[in-house]
Structure 1
Amino acid sequence: MSLKLKSGFEFDYDNLYGEGKVTDADLKSYEADLKRAHEAMKVMREKGFIRAHLSKDGEPEKVLFSQLPYVEEGHLNSPSSMKHLQELTDHVKDNVDVVVSLGIGGSYLGDKVIFDVQCGEFWNSMTKEERGGFPKVYFSGNNIDPQRTYDLIHYLEKAAEVKKCHEGGKLKVLLLVISKSGGTLDTMSNFMVIYDELGKCADIDQEVVAVTDPNMENQTLLKKLAIEKGWPQYAVPDGVGGRFSIFSEVGLTLAACVGFDIQAFLNGAKDMDQACQNEDIWQNPAMLNAALKFAASEKHGRDIEVMMPYGDYMESISMWYIQLLAESLGKQYNREGKEVCYGRTPIVAVGTRDMHSMTQQHQEGRLNKVIQFLKVKNWKHDYKIPNVFPEAKKLADIAGVTMSDALETARQSNADALTGNHRYNATFTLPELNAYHLGELLYMLAMSIAYEGELADVDAFNQPGVEAYKKIMWPRLNELKKEMDR
């Protein structure tokens, strides 16, 4: 059983729904809740309103991520913002040597997804001509790691020496710093160290692009710095939490720096949003996904979700999904203030790599997991396994099979084995790994979370648990600074 869209995107839920799995009776028991959830999604789209949602400051706040796929005047993504992104593309192409993307949470995880799908592991080892004139890209600011920060700075200094010797001129480095407030410890500590150290290097020309809160009336720290220093600015928009921000300039600025097809990405999200407006659960991928996962958790104890893409460059999708699921649904209290301690635990795995490590636990461990596979139907490049060792029968037996067919055989065998031992699993299929289908997938997952928040009666758009450690951390940092200043 599967739900297949005209685009070819497919959600195969045969191993998650039916006898011995999530049943018709399970879904029937949620019929009224699903209807209310669907109506709530309509209100969210039309008015940006989600019941009982408040900002971290306790103020009413709109939820606007569902607006992002629609490029229209007055929207967060508009023709003028697309033009502004094109200006960034035109600036970096054939002009900037290196972009260092500094961000954490969605500001890193979303950007890493775009980079992996567009560029792949060996992008920075290619020549500038092979990269189409686009710069190398490195990530920082997603951890406070002094050793890696040193290594990055040292690498850039050495790269500057090499350029001076072989090409002449300075290494041009663009620091893409992404922080709504400019007070994010992880991001800004790395940014300040890198900015200071590169500024001392005579062979490096550095510039900064700030992606931050655009509010002019109550300017944030990074906004003030950007105005004072004359840095180009892009927006971390209000009403879009970091885990949903890949569709905004938070993700699209990095996309602009590597030649990613932004319009196709947003079109994929828009077409998925259209599909998710269907009130029939069997034709609405997000509602169906949310209902099946919710029922699996609440009625069958499957409260861990393993996101297992089959493809190395999709591991970052799993990493992005971890934040989306954990921050959105891991809530101690429901919207009435009742303690519920709700949430499914997300886990990253990659096929076939983790079939040789984690699958033992998936196959025979506790009956508390749903394994969510992600596969690509048609790969851009493929190889037929050659018969280079005919004397080795076991190797000769796999000769003639394509790598993509071997990958899918492994995935299907894993799914069948799991199903045969009462282990729930499902599969999302992308026709190709490209910007359009990536937009479809990520938007469907985001909308699924919104539906599940309604089913669980928790605010899927706040993150009070993240604020808890910050309230402890900042006073301690202030005390540490006072001790060092004595």
Structure 2
Amino acid sequence: MKKDIEELVIITSWQRFKEYLYYDEEMELLLDISRMNFTPEFLTEMTEPMGTVYHQLQLMEKGALANPDEGRMVGHYWLRNPDLAPSEEIAQDIKETLGEILDFAEQIHMGSFRNILLVGVGGSILGPRFVADALASPQDKMKAFFIDNGDPDGIDRVLSHIGEELNATLCIIISKSGGTIETRNGMLEVRKRYEELGLSFPGHAVAITQRGSELDKLSQKEGWLRAFPMWDWVGGRTSLLSAVGLLSLALQGIDTAGLLQGARDCDKRTRRPDTLNNPGALLALMWYHSTQGHGGKQMVVLPYKDRLELFTKYLQQLIMESLGKEKNLKGETVHQGITVYGNKGSSDQHSYLQQLLEGPNNFFVTFIEVLKDRQGPSAYMEENSTSGEYLQAFLLGTREALTQKGRESMTITVKEINAYTIGVLIALFERAVSIYALLVGINAYHQPAVEMGKKAAGQAIQLKNRIVYFLKSHPSEKFSVHEIALAIQEEEHQEMVFKILLHLTINPEHGVNMEPGHPLPESRFFVGG
């Protein structure tokens, strides 16, 4: 009897796998959702909501106001198919920009530049960095370096790796608004290093920004090598297939045409109103099923390929910045969001798989499988098996263990990693984000909380300047945190005053010193003496 039940489960599982497997022969893409615990009734119930979503997607791609909070169209789909753009002007602008990118890359390859240094933050650099790493090869025409944070030591590390090659390094500054603080600081740090070596920064610099921005004006005033446009209708996290990504990737020698073709082909499939034949819809529906449309779940992304290690970081921003919203489009408080994290296979088995199997069941897993192990044949290790066969066994074993524990997972499979399949994966997740956002009624294309953080950072800088001014106005006098906060009328922010003072004492620029107190917050601070 027990054997009969086990065989029935196996048969049902195989039948379910065959029924719900999405396979696209041309894109060489498989999406297996059979290990997500949805019922056939769920798909039936979602037929009407999905019909509405497909209609909304059509309107968005035709230029409807898809980002009402900022009064913007959403047009990253036009980047890989300009003929879909709502006006000839936009379509022509996209085509001309792509042509200019390729022409510029060809000119640079004939010169003396050997490196690229990208300076940006968030979506302006996560995508290019992911693809540059995923598709890097010994045949690359230029080597890419990245500054994506305001950490001075991190900037020094990158510049030290470039070293004397800075004279042969093209610097690309990426900022849509032209005023992003982290990017501005990175640019100023890099400019300083060029000038210290007697090099002309404008003679090495390229801007990617909105036309008319402060960065655009600066590049024109100083005579930078070039400036390429970012458009109002493309957000940073969906800008990879604009100049933001295509310029550096073309300079590196990546197959940008393949990237665009992969995304274009995937877009075609994810426009289909037939849900079972639409991989983007299936992916988004599994998110909706697992979260019951309320968010709050964790999405563990496990790519079993070293070249996809940065894919999870890229998806973190794409998904979390798009879907993490307090309000829906009706102004109701919903606290939507899906938390994304992940390592890579099989490292995950030696880090957090234990918790996935026996800890809280508050997640679902997305495995990403790559069938091709390497260029050329592999040697046998043990048990008449190659290292690639062992890696697949770890994926299959992890997936099976999760299923036995009642934990949900799905698997995306591609034949190999190349520019085309990277384009497919990017477009697949971009569409899933759009569909999920429409299903739950949120604006996926603005990020008000990020602006709150920027505003608070600006206020912290102003507070620091007032602290320094006060101390320098009273040289050699020692003050407690409370006395300083009282003097500058910031009593409600004494903790922040203390944190700022602690940082000032460790760094020499302003000459702030500390007389340690016990406990530490009772320390006294002074300048000079």
The whole-number CA distance in structure 1 between the counterparts of 2:64 and 2:91 is: 12
1:154 matched to which residue of 2?
160
Q: How far off is 1:445 after superposition?
A: 0.4
Q: How far off is 1:254 after superposition?
A: 1.3
1:239 matched to which residue of 2?
233
Which one-letter code corresponds to 1:107 in the other structure? S
Match of 1:54 among 69, 92, 98: 69
CA contact 2:293–2:440 (8 Å) conserved in 1: no
The whole-number CA distance in structure 1 between the counterparts of 2:165 and 2:238 is: 35
Q: How far off is 1:299 after superposition?
A: 7.0
Which one-letter code corresponds to 2:206 in the other structure? V
SS at match of 2:228: strand
Render the CA deviation track for 1:306-358: whole Å, top value 9, x for unaligned: 11100111011111100011011111111111101111111122101111111
Q: How far off is 1:482 after superposition?
A: 5.8
Match of 1:229 among 219, 222, 238: 222
The whole-number CA distance in structure 2 between the counterparts of 1:380 and 1:367 is: 35
Bigger RCO (CA 8 Å, 6+ sep) = 1
CA contact 1:261–1:435 (8 Å) conserved in 2: yes
Which one-letter code corresponds to 2:69 in the other structure? L
Which sections of structure 1, spanning at least 5 residues, go unmatched?
Answer: 121-129, 161-170, 388-395
2:357 matched to which residue of 1?
363
- Does structure 1 residue 201 correspond to structure 2 residue 197? yes
Percent of aligned positions that are identical? 25
Which one-letter code corresponds to 2:398 in the other structure? N
Change (3 A) 1:291 1:273: same
Larger Rg: 2
CA contact 1:328–1:461 (8 Å) conserved in 2: yes
Change (3 A) 1:242 1:76: farther
SS at match of 1:308: strand
The whole-number CA distance in structure 2 between the counterparts of 1:207 and 1:301 is: 45
Match of 1:426 among 410, 414, 417: 410
Equivalent residues in 2 for 1:36-435 (5 A)?
A: 36-50=52-66, 53-55=68-70, 60-72=71-83, 74-75=90-91, 78-94=94-110, 95-119=112-136, 130-131=138-139, 134-140=141-147, 142-159=148-165, 171-202=167-198, 207-214=204-211, 219-231=212-224, 232-298=226-292, 303-381=297-375, 384-386=378-380, 396-397=382-383, 400-435=384-419
TM-score (structure 2 length as normaliser): 0.79
The whole-number CA distance in structure 1 between the counterparts of 2:294 and 2:155 is: 45
The whole-number CA distance in structure 2 between the counterparts of 1:284 and 1:213 is: 34
Render the CA deviation track for 1:418-453: whole Å, top value 9, x for unaligned: 111111001111122011111111101001100000
Q: How far off is 1:103 after superposition?
A: 1.1
Render the CA deviation track for 1:168-214: whole Å, top value 9, x for unaligned: xxx32211110012211112111111111221214788510000002
Which one-letter code corresponds to 2:408 in the other structure? Y
Match of 2:445 among 461, 473, 477: 461
Instruction: Write 1 or 2 for the structure with the bigger share of helix.
Output: 2
Which one-letter code corresponds to 1:28 in the other structure? T
2:499 matched to which residue of 1?
none
CA contact 2:294–2:334 (8 Å) conserved in 1: no
CA contact 2:117–2:172 (8 Å) conserved in 1: yes
Change (3 A) 1:203 1:176: closer
CA RMSD of aligned residues (A): 2.1
- Mean CA deviation greater in 66-75 or 244-253: 66-75
CA contact 2:174–2:244 (8 Å) conserved in 1: yes
1:14 matched to which residue of 2?
34
The whole-number CA distance in structure 2 between the counterparts of 1:312 and 1:101 is: 22
The whole-number CA distance in structure 1 between the counterparts of 2:93 and 2:390 is: 41
1:125 matched to which residue of 2?
none
SS at match of 2:254: coil
Render the CA deviation track for 1:369-415: whole Å, top value 9, x for unaligned: 1100111122442553445xxxxxxxx43xx3222222111101111
What count of residue pairs does the alignment treat as equivalent?
442
The whole-number CA distance in structure 2 between the counterparts of 1:301 and 1:328 is: 12
TM-score (structure 1 length as normaliser): 0.86
Q: How far off is 1:71 after superposition?
A: 4.0
Q: How far off is 1:31 after superposition?
A: 2.5
Q: How far off is 1:226 after superposition?
A: 0.9
CA contact 2:380–2:387 (8 Å) conserved in 1: no
Change (3 A) 1:475 1:374: same
Q: Which runs of 4+ in 1 moved over 6 A?
A: 299-302
SS at match of 1:47: coil
CA contact 2:176–2:236 (8 Å) conserved in 1: no
Which one-letter code corresponds to 1:136 in the other structure? K
Q: How far off is 1:45 after superposition?
A: 1.0
Q: How far off is 1:224 after superposition?
A: 0.8
CA contact 1:382–1:404 (8 Å) conserved in 2: no
